[in-house]
Amino acid sequence: MKLRPVRRSILAASLAMFAVPSLPAMSATAPTPEAKFHRVELRPAKGAALPYTLEVPQDWQVRQVDNFPGLWIGPADAKPPEDPRLIWVRGSKVSLANPTQIVANIKANDAAHPEWSAPRVEVKTVGGANCVLVEMETGAGDKARTSLTLKVPFQTVSVDFIASATRAEFPKMLPMYERILLSVQPAGKK
């Protein structure tokens, strides 16, 4: 999908890359397996929509929040960045032209950086695209968190879909995170 230069610069501005914030612990409940899901567009308030959609629980919405970059997808009462019921969508400068190399780089960096670990990193075909799925553990003590990130190709860079919870909450949230992140599809695909 080719975007005109003006649309591309607006989109790039709306998806500026920022570091994942440190998130405090918070209790969360994943939707039940019977929960109804619906497919949402990833449309910022200004600029072009991203060329992807994903399925989320029926009562979730896409929104932008003052002082927090990117798009936040979750229940209306979820407050970024601390609520583990949220999926954060942000731009990334990482190219996915060679996803196998990205996986190798993450594994090599994992071995060299004891302050974080990536127990799961793999190339995953999602919505017909070769993506990178990364589970990452960061922090210690009450700041310990686990995140699941799906890196999806976008033009010459990528878009990150990130879900994050405390280490204790992550296992119970993981089925919902996978259900949502692995539902990513190109916009217009049924």
- Tens digits of per-residue pLDDT, 104-147? 999 999 999 999 999 999 999 999 999 999 999 999 998 999 99
CA atoms of 18 and 160, how far apart (whole Å): 11
Q: Distance between CA atoms of 122 and 135, rounded to whole angstroms? A: 9
**Cβ distance 47 to 11 under 8 Å?**
yes
Q: Are 96 and 118 in contact (CB under 8 A)?
A: no
pLDDT confidence bin for 25, thresholds 50/70/90: very low
Query: pLDDT category, 66, cuts 50, 70, 90?
Result: confident
Nearest of 160, 174, 171 to residue 19 by alpha carbon: 160
Across the range 57-66, mean pLDDT stands at 92
Residues 8 and 51: their CA atoms lie apart, in Å, by: 12
The closest of 158, 91, 93 to 129, measured between CA atoms, is 158
Domain residue limits at 10: 5-15+23-186
Residue 159 sits in a domain whose CATH number is 3.40.1000.10
Q: How many domains does the chain have?
A: 1
- pTM attached to this predicted model: 0.81
pLDDT for the residue numbered 175: 97
Phi, psi of 27 (to 5 degrees): -75, 140
Confidence of residue 44 (pLDDT cuts 50, 70, 90): confident
